[in-house]
Homo-oligomer: A and B are copies of this chain.
Amino acid sequence: MFTHIEKIRVRYGETDKMGFVYHGNYALYYEVSRVELLRKLGINYNDVENSGIGLPVVKFEIDFFKPALYDEIISVEVSLNDKPLSRLVFYYKCYNEQNELLNQGKVILAFINLENKKPVKCPPQIENIFKNLH
């Protein structure tokens, strides 16, 4: 199981008139945290795309318990605990500075061929990285 915690400060433009972070913006926070987890594991998402493989989101799921507020620094904890086959499954927990659980979620990415947009298996260079990490 691989884990990363990314600290992200809430931007003004990410709040809505209720004074909370608009729920759709957690997609961006979750994205940033998993990209940094992958980078830590030796996988640069940009390089993956440049090799012709994309990783679109095929499932996004989030339960909200408390809102994040403007200017707060939130901790987006992401875990990747599956051996990747054709999909990467990320689990999330997001905390505020008082260490209160704000929300938790799951995001699944699937490998595709960027040219024909068809699903493909995990490319060998990424599979090898995961093998060596275990």
Contact = CB atoms under 8 A, between A and B. Distances in A.
Interface residues of A, number: 41
Contacts of A101: none
Contacts of A124: none
A52 interface: no
A86 to B, nearest CB: 15
A117 to B, nearest CB: 8
A16 interface: yes
A23 interface: yes
Interface in A47-71: 49, 54, 56-65, 67, 70-71
Interface in A10-32: 11-20, 22-28, 31-32
A18 B111 CA distance: 13
A13 B22 contact: yes
Contacts of A11: 28, 31-32
A45 interface: yes
Contact of A56 (B49, B59, B64, B70): B64
A62 B61 contact: yes
Interface in A71-120: 71, 114, 117
Interface of A: 9, 11-20, 22-28, 31-32, 35, 44-46, 49, 54, 56-65, 67, 70-71, 114, 117
